[in-house]
Structure 1
Amino acid sequence: MTLLTDQFFDSFATSVMPTEDAETLPPEIYTSEEFYRFEKEALFYREWLCVGREEWIPASGDYFTASHANEPIIIARDREGNIQAMSAVCQHRAMLVAEGKGNARAFICPYHHWTYDLDGKLVGAPAMNKTCNFDKAKNNLPKLKVELWHGFVFVNFDPDAEALVSRLAPLEPVVANYELEKLRGPEPIVENFAWNWKVQFENNNDGYHASRLHQGLHDYIPSAKASFPEVPKGTAGYYRLNGTLHKNAAFNPTEKALFPVFPKLSEEEQNRLLFVNLPPSLSLVITNDVAIYIIMDAVSATTHKVTFGSLYMPEAMEDPLFETKAKVTSDYTNSIFAQDLHTDLLVQQGLGSKFAPRGRYSWQEDAQRQFNVWLVDRYMAEWDRRRGPAAPITKLHATS
């Protein structure tokens, strides 16, 4: 029996109501492989997806590979210095033409040596001269749209997708002074986790648990100081703020910034943390000296891959004590992450139970309601596309 019915999608309406009235989304959207396949069409093949940082490919020929929803992707700097994004799947027999990262003059399929230029154009196909009606121009690597936002590289599988940066304009006033495009960091860490990508995304956004699950670890950033500004409908992301009990609070044993504070921050900004959410792939946790980025790649209904990285002022990494300070910080944040990751695993187990609820929200969980609105707006659009023009267009309250 299919999960995807009008009744199922109509039930989402209670999850986009005002926070004091709303309830969580159905547990099945976190556990069902059928729904994950639906999400591929509703979200991952239509929305802008973060794949990494621009500084990872500084020179022509530099490339790195990424994936989203099991689609292998190459991000490369071409000979003119432009960033190109393309499928990594050879158009001959589906072998991947690139792995990892590096610098290349071209992408050569290891299997049969079909050769693609840095922009994905097929420039060599050995022994294909006897193949009837073979046209190299029709066998280029499929291209993806590319945009940059504050140093982050985004791709989109939909050639007709609306531009990203213009849809993030409402976030500019809150991110501008952090100058994210100027920040630099060490090699990120990549890990695989056994829970739905939305469980991860919700935990990243959750201000409610900070003073409970992490009690004693960052009491100086209390849940009671969380706030959830609204963004205009159509914005491609949203954010939350969390006030701190002292200036320039940070995640380390001193509770204060160990690295150079971002120089343009106002007095108000130095007394809060910023959490920026660009679903379905990027969460930012930004203190006043470190910007943590979390890139999520949904692999299945119950698994996903995460790229964790940290960004600093460039001079911070030139400090002889940088590695020592970074270790102190990472050891501290890892103790917080360990609690989060264990919780995420147990939440995923709970979501598979017949007793899994559609629970109610605290006011400190308004970011979850904002996430629900973002999701449901796109879920309903895809469901209406599938039902066709004869079906009435479902209208739900939505703000983003």
Structure 2
Amino acid sequence: MTHPILNDALFDAMKTSVLPTEEAESLPPLCYTDAEFYQFEKEAIFSKEWLCVGRETWAAHPGDYFTSFIADEPLIVARGRDGVLRAMSSVCQHRAMLVAEGSGKARAFVCPYHHWTYALDGSLASAPAMEKSCKFHKENFNLPVFALEIWEGFVFINFDQNAAPLAPRLTKVSEVLKGYNLSQAEGEKPTEELSYPWNWKVMFENNNDGYHASKLHQGPLHDFIPSELAEFPDDLPDNTAGYYRTNRTLHPDAAFNATQRAVFPIFPDLTADERHRMVFANVPPTLSLVMTTDSIIYLILRADGPESHRVDQGVLTTKQAKSDPAYQQKMAMSFLAASEIIDQDLHVDEMVQIGLRSRFAPRGRYSWQEGAQRLFNTWLVPRYCDTWNKLKRKDFTEF
């Protein structure tokens, strides 16, 4: 098999993207547009890394389940009768029909096509009219079950059963998030699945980018968090599974609404210094967090093509927030402001994707305020290069 796009020159060129920020340049544009590269990325990233699929509270009780879809893989996350949370494929092992959609409560998963029935742990419980099939044994046709880990209340799955645990490689990120008590924060499950016609990395980079804040978002809804007050860590370990940036604010307890100030209860464990900044934390390739002193916006990005992805977007607050009689009105006010900012970002993301298809698309240089982009690159590029080297040694037989 020949690979006109994938070659040593491409991966050698990526090495400039992990230089110090003042020397680095962005990834080659084809990494955001090319179908062949997306297939490679499914092997290099999505088949090996921990992927966020939701919050643990979305399946809090036995029988609760929710479904997801990422990098062409339909998934079920279900709480078994034994109380254990499991992640498994939603693909029936008979004829590939999906055995579950949406979310809800179930005693079992019944394939609507031929009524093969699976227990909540993925084991095949019933396969009607299969008694005449030679050498058919139910135990050989269970739903594939994946590795699962909970981090800060978020559910992560991994298709690689031998993957290194996630949490030990997120200690630095967890330290920065400690005051938010994220695992105990509460919020409704998103009811709308968002779908966008641009590469998942375009959106991930925009979420990480402090450089554009004082330009694209200038005005009363964002001016309290200026780009020049962005700060980037320099002590993340080489094996980190995530990264973050912080941004000082012009006044404490700043928030994205017309008042510029927190309207929900403050996360009580935040220090005085932490109340004077925001945190933007990221666990690629799927989870991005925007953290203010009274609320947390999370985005779960789910790639589904070279130039498209889906997003689950939600808001978390303290447990006490909902006891406020004006909770819904305050949330609506905050959502109105956040929506105006998000709409600006979405328009830029769409236009960037168009630009990346151009023959004139550059490998741009970074401002110091784009330090998070370089951190993203240092996560991506070694994984790309490592997979490419392995594929070469195996003569492409696994690609």
TM-score where L is the length of structure 2 = 0.97
Work out whether residues 33 and 357 of structure 2, in 8 Å CA contact, stay in contact via their aligned partners in 1.
yes
Please name the residue that 2:218 is paired with: 215
Please name the residue that 2:122 is paired with: 120
Query: In 1, distance between residues paired with 2:264 and 2:117?
Result: 45
Over the residues paired in the alignment, what is the CA RMSD in angstroms?
1.2
Query: In 2, distance between residues paired with 1:146 and 1:390?
Result: 32
Deviations 1:332-360 (A, max 9, x none): 00000000000000000000001100010
Correspondence 1:34-183 to 2 at 5 A:
34-183=36-185
State the 1:186 CA deviation: 2.2
Are 1:203 and 2:206 matched, yes or no? yes
Query: In 1, distance between residues paired with 2:105 and 2:279?
Result: 35
Greater shift in the superposed pair: 213-222 or 380-389: 380-389
- Aligned partner of 2:12 among 3, 10, 28: 10
Correspondence 1:326-341 to 2 at 5 A:
326-341=331-346
Are 1:279 and 2:284 matched, yes or no? yes
Are 1:381 and 2:383 matched, yes or no? no
State the 1:87 CA deviation: 0.1
Query: In 2, distance between residues paired with 1:51 and 1:377?
Result: 24
Query: In 2, distance between residues paired with 1:137 and 1:249?
Result: 56
Deviations 1:121-142 (A, max 9, x none): 0011011111000011110000
Q: Which amino acid aligns with 1:228?
A: F
**Structure 1: stretches of 5+ with no match in the other structure:** 392-400
Q: Which amino acid aligns with 2:300?
A: I
Work out whether residues 225 and 247 of structure 2, in 8 Å CA contact, stay in contact via their aligned partners in 1.
yes
Q: What SS is found at the alignment partner of 1:84?
A: strand
- Aligned partner of 2:369 among 358, 364, 376: 364
Query: In 2, distance between residues paired with 1:208 and 1:332?
Result: 20
Query: In 2, distance between residues paired with 1:160 and 1:149?
Result: 18
State the 1:187 CA deviation: 3.2
State the 1:390 CA deviation: 9.8
Q: Which amino acid aligns with 1:86?
A: M
Deviations 1:280-323 (A, max 9, x none): 00000000000110000111111100111000111211211111
Please name the residue that 1:396 is paired with: none
Work out whether residues 108 and 120 of structure 2, in 8 Å CA contact, stay in contact via their aligned partners in 1.
yes
Identity across aligned pairs (percent)? 55
Work out whether residues 48 and 163 of structure 2, in 8 Å CA contact, stay in contact via their aligned partners in 1.
yes
Query: In 1, distance between residues paired with 2:104 and 2:44?
Result: 33
Work out whether residues 58 and 189 of structure 2, in 8 Å CA contact, stay in contact via their aligned partners in 1.
no
- Aligned partner of 1:262 among 233, 251, 267: 267
Query: In 2, distance between residues paired with 1:81 and 1:26?
Result: 46
TM-score where L is the length of structure 1 = 0.96
Query: In 1, distance between residues paired with 2:172 and 2:269?
Result: 19
Q: Which amino acid aligns with 2:7?
A: T
